[in-house]
Amino acid sequence: MLLFLLAQAAGPVTASAPGSIATPFQVSVTQLHDDSFFVKVTAVATVLTALPAFAAVFISWFWNKQMFEESRASNAQTRRDVQLDRESGWKPHLAFDHPPIADAAGQPVVGVTNIGKGPALQCRYVARLSTTPPTPPRYFRAPRFAVGAESELRQPRFVEELNKPEDADSLKLAKRAFDQLPSDVTEVILCSDAFGNRWRFVRGRALPDGPEKDGSSPAARSARAAALWSQGWEGTGQSRTAQPPTGKPRWINDVRDKERRAAEEALSRNRRPDAWAVYREYQARFDDFGRVRGILKSAAGGPGTASLAPPEENLIRVFGNWAETVAVRVERGDLDRNALADTGLIEHLITFRSELSADARAVAILKDWPYLAALHG
């Protein structure tokens, strides 16, 4: 190639003597004195000298470009790892505090404790119970909730089965929640942390599914990011399609109704007077009780042989009215009979009525206290 370029630079070759061999280097005297010949040779030599340099520059540029792309990807992953390290100290960690739904007796409820140092936001509880094929699995939901860091769910959430036509949207989320999980998994909780990362806590597993720093391939990380359970949360938490013409309550309304009734019952129980508080009322009237018993046992010709004096009858009526009030509260359920019996007050009131019924002077008073008679029964 070099010889060819030099021959082209030399131009046409002059004729040689007969019998001689012409070569590209046989030039005329005119060519030797032509400056353009040397310019052409110099240009060709310069190009040939520069080619390796150009090749080296190109190879170096291409190599550096590849290294830069790999370094940028690595730096991005490193920054993400550093970010996850920083956020991991403030992520939630949820523990199931209720019996497994398969073992729940009566109305299933959700109890959760967050032992992590970050709040669990937009939590969604989903349960799945396997059935005999070809019957599809049964899915359950609870209203969304949030749990603060290092605290527990204050009010357990009621669970309702998704078995109505208007449950279609919620059922889609419930099915996605079990994506990539074996069929024996029955309960999961989906939640977000304060940084927007999404987590899936699976009952029976120590660690949740979610963002993590590792050395896996980009394809593996992409597959994890594309997991169905982490998608489509918006608009499926508590919403439903339009209520059907039958007017059947939506599942979230069913749950709210049950929770409201439970709250009312709990409030009613809290308002019920404490049995020992009633017993302390009795202790405050103990002297009156003793005087009543003394009146009924007084001689004065023997029990039932004389009429009661107005002060005595008034004392009996005051104490008897209080005892009748206690009996009415027991009958209505405002007072727990067993708790009141543990204090001994039931026995004292029964004794009071028995002694009244045995005294002819006081029998007429008993007709005003029917609940006291029922208390004895």
Long-range CB pairs of 172-175, under 8 A, 24+ apart, other chains included: 172/232, 172/236, 173/124, 173/126, 173/232, 173/233, 173/236, 173/237, 174/126, 174/128, 174/139, 174/140, 174/141, 175/139
What's residue 242's pLDDT?
38
Average pLDDT, stretch 221-245?
55
Consecutive H or E run containing 120? strand 120-129
Token reading at 204: 């029976």
Bond from prior residue into 273 cis (ω within 30 degrees of 0): no
pLDDT in tens, 109-162: 899 999 998 899 999 999 999 888 888 899 999 988 999 988 998 888 889 888
Percent of residues, the chain, with pLDDT higher than 90:
12
Bigger pLDDT: 313 vs 247: 313
What's residue 84's pLDDT?
61
The Cα 272–Cα 255 span in angstroms is 26
Q: Running DSSP on this structure, what letter comes out for residue 307?
A: P
What's residue 246's pLDDT?
40
Bigger pLDDT: 178 vs 10: 178
Percent of residues, the chain, with pLDDT higher than 70:
68
**Distances 349 to 288, 337, 343, 346, 358 between C-alpha atoms, Å:** 13, 12, 12, 5, 14
Bigger pLDDT: 275 vs 62: 275
Helices and strands per DSSP (H, E), number in the chain:
13, 11
What's residue 172's pLDDT?
87
Per the listing, tokens 């190109």 go with 58
What's residue 300's pLDDT?
45
What's residue 120's pLDDT?
92
pTM: 0.49
What's residue 140's pLDDT?
93
- 235 band by pLDDT with thresholds 50, 70 and 90: very low
pLDDT in tens, 199-227: 999 999 988 988 765 545 555 555 565 67
pLDDT in tens, 291-336: 888 887 774 444 444 677 888 888 888 888 888 888 888 888 778 8
pLDDT in tens, 68-124: 676 666 655 566 666 666 666 788 999 998 888 888 777 888 999 999 988 999 999
What's residue 316's pLDDT?
86
What's residue 299's pLDDT?
47
The Cα 192–Cα 189 span in angstroms is 10
Average pLDDT, stretch 55-70?
73
What's residue 147's pLDDT?
92
Q: 6-15, 31-40, 319-328 — which one is most confidently predicted on average?
A: 319-328
What's residue 3's pLDDT?
46
For the chain, the straight-line distance linking the first and the last C-alpha, in angstroms and rounded, comes to 126
pLDDT mean across residues, the chain? 75
Contact by Cβ (8 Å): 164, 248: yes
